Amino acid sequence: MSHAIAIGPRTYRFADLKTLLARASPLRSGDQLAGVAAASAEERVAAQMCLADLPLKVFLNQAVIPYEEDEVTRLILDSHDQAAFAAVSHLTVGGLRDWLLSDAATAETLAALAPGLTPEMAAAVSKLMRNQDLVLAARKCRVVTAFRNTQGLPGRMGVRLQPNHPADDARAIAAATLDGLLYGAGDAVIGINPAGDSPDDIRSLLTLLDEVRQRYAIPTQSCVLTHVTSTLDLMRRGAPVDLVFQSIAGTQKANAGFGVSLAVLDEAHQAARELKRGTVGDNVMYFETGQGSALSANAHWGVDQQTCEARAYAVARRYSPLLVNTVVGFIGPEYLYNGKQIIRAGLEDHFCGKLLGLPMGCDICYTNHAEADQDDMDALLTLLGAAGVHFIIGVPGADDIMLGYQSTSFHDALYLRNVLGLKRAPEFEDWLETMEITRGGRLLPQDRRQRLLAMMEGVA
């Protein structure tokens, strides 16, 4: 079904829904690379105007990727909640935008609506929004999850402590972990990206993190970000697995490129829940996504990268994860060219994920060959903090020496907490006070007599 709109003497025609969505998307290098971007600013505005008048019901009848050929499409349509959708079923995409920005859209009404929205609806409405709209609407969404502490409560923001090392050196990882804890980071998760994929090495890292957690009674969760099939095998062998990690994308072909399917994720989700390692909740999955992943695998079906990204959230939503992280600038300038595009993508991802009912965090990051710098990341960090981001990344010095990209530091989290008055997960906040790392949420001066350091005396 084609879509058309007349602007003065000129009529713009869009062959189908995926073309309309692509042309309406704010400019980014990935869509240009894929050949799906609008040819001009005028065509982009025309597509946005046409999209604004499109009834939301259309998205239930026009799949951007064929139902018969894609299990993500089948998941989206088969799991759609018609009763939840009824509240907005009479609206157009533009009408949904207006409603989201109105006082009628509250945390309660948005939570009830989430199962009734498809990822394509979320992507569509985001394309009509300014950055401030994305901040305002996302801030209203409330998604609370829990494992050993509680994430997503009002006025709180978590930090993933990321103690990566290029050789998976245990002492270096332990030192970076201690550094992060003394800066009050680590309530979202202590998560390592391993340099290798040896099952024995992965198990050693899992054991290291679990021993640290138990020795100091830290109310947090750990994760080694290896492939889901490796984690499944390690769970069968009795390794101390808290969260199951997997990178996911918005098409079946792209997920196949990651070596994963819904069936595999189903198995891992069930296995992790059966371990019953959580103390205050049973959200056991940790997913990472990023605009451009489907395109980089040539598995995007001609769909723009932001809509593909939103479709990945349908996969995540199936498993009620503890954490979802858009690694926004990690894939590179071929997909998000500069700071402006990275900022926009980060706000879009955060908004779409939360609108669909997910606990969205963001790795506010860029590669060293992108046209971006830490000032751009400061801007995105502050905007996401105002938008109610669930968690950010904490890397020593903001420079990940293993992955070779620039992210956010422990100090960046402190900045955001101070500016916006954000607290940590309550259970973790209490632990920091007990360990005399903080008082009233603020870091205390430390020396060798600090309680955590004193407990570590003599520990190899």
Which tens digit of pLDDT belongs to each residue from 376-434? Answer: 999 999 999 999 999 999 999 999 999 999 999 999 999 999 999 999 999 999 999 99
Does residue 117 lie in a domain region? yes
Residue 59 confidence (pLDDT) above 90: yes
Q: Do 309 and 218 fall into the same domain? A: yes
Domain boundary among 140, 166, 186: 140
| pLDDT of 2 | 87
What's the domain range around 93?
A: 3-140
Residue 68 confidence (pLDDT) above 50: yes
Q: Which two tokens stand for residue 128?
A: 């009509």
Task: Report the share of the chain in percent with pLDDT over 90.
Answer: 95
Q: Which two tokens stand for residue 333?
A: 């300038």
Q: Do 180 and 305 fall into the same domain? A: yes
| pLDDT of 324 | 98
Amino acid at 89: S
Does residue 458 lie in a domain region? no
Does residue 455 lie in a domain region? no
For residue 195, give the nearest of 182, 204, 207 by alpha carbon: 204
Q: Do 240 and 335 fall into the same domain? A: yes
**161 among the known binding-site residues?**
yes
Domain boundary among 110, 140, 170: 140
**265 among the known binding-site residues?**
no
Q: Do 427 and 369 fall into the same domain? A: yes
User: How many structural domains does the chain have?
Assistant: 2
Does residue 451 lie in a domain region? no
Q: Do 308 and 329 fall into the same domain? A: yes
Does residue 196 lie in a domain region? yes
First and final CA of the chain: distance in angstroms? 66
Residue 460 confidence (pLDDT) above 50: no
**164 among the known binding-site residues?**
no
Q: Which two tokens stand for residue 295?
A: 């395109």
Q: Do 324 and 355 fall into the same domain? A: yes
Domain boundary among 125, 140, 155: 140
Q: Do 19 and 82 fall into the same domain? A: yes
Assess contact for 234 and 202: CB atoms under 8 A.
Answer: yes
| pLDDT of 291 | 97
Does residue 373 lie in a domain region? yes
Length of the chain counted residue by residue: 460
**246 among the known binding-site residues?**
yes
For residue 247, give the nearest of 182, 302, 304, 297 by alpha carbon: 297
CATH number at residue 109: 1.10.220.70
Of 119-128, 178-187, 446-455, least confident by mean pLDDT is: 446-455
pLDDT interval class at 449 (50, 70, 90): confident
Residue 1 confidence (pLDDT) above 80: no
**Burial of 86 from C-beta contacts in 10 A (0-12 / 13-18 / 19+):** exposed
**Mean pLDDT along residues 301-321:** 98
Does residue 390 lie in a domain region? yes
Residue 455 confidence (pLDDT) above 80: no
**Dihedral, 291, 294, 296, 301 alpha carbons, nearest 10:** -120
Assess contact for 246 and 265: CB atoms under 8 A.
Answer: yes
pLDDT tens-digit map of 90-105 = 999 999 999 999 999 9
Q: Do 23 and 127 fall into the same domain? A: yes
**402 among the known binding-site residues?**
yes
CATH number at residue 437: 3.20.20.70
Question: What's the mean per-residue pLDDT of the chain?
Answer: 96
Residue 201 confidence (pLDDT) above 90: yes
**26 among the known binding-site residues?**
no
| pLDDT of 450 | 80
Q: Do 129 and 153 fall into the same domain? A: no
Q: Do 254 and 120 fall into the same domain? A: no
For residue 349, give the nearest of 310, 301, 399 by alpha carbon: 310
**1 among the known binding-site residues?**
no
Does residue 399 lie in a domain region? yes
Residue 458 confidence (pLDDT) above 80: no
**62 among the known binding-site residues?**
no
Q: Do 83 and 189 fall into the same domain? A: no
pLDDT tens-digit map of 329-361 = 999 999 999 999 999 999 999 999 999 999 999
**Mean pLDDT along residues 63-85:** 98
pLDDT tens-digit map of 104-115 = 999 999 999 999
Q: Do 166 and 136 fall into the same domain? A: no
pLDDT interval class at 164 (50, 70, 90): very high
Residue 457 confidence (pLDDT) above 90: no
User: What is the rounded radius of gyration, in angstroms, for the C-alpha atoms of the chain?
Assistant: 22
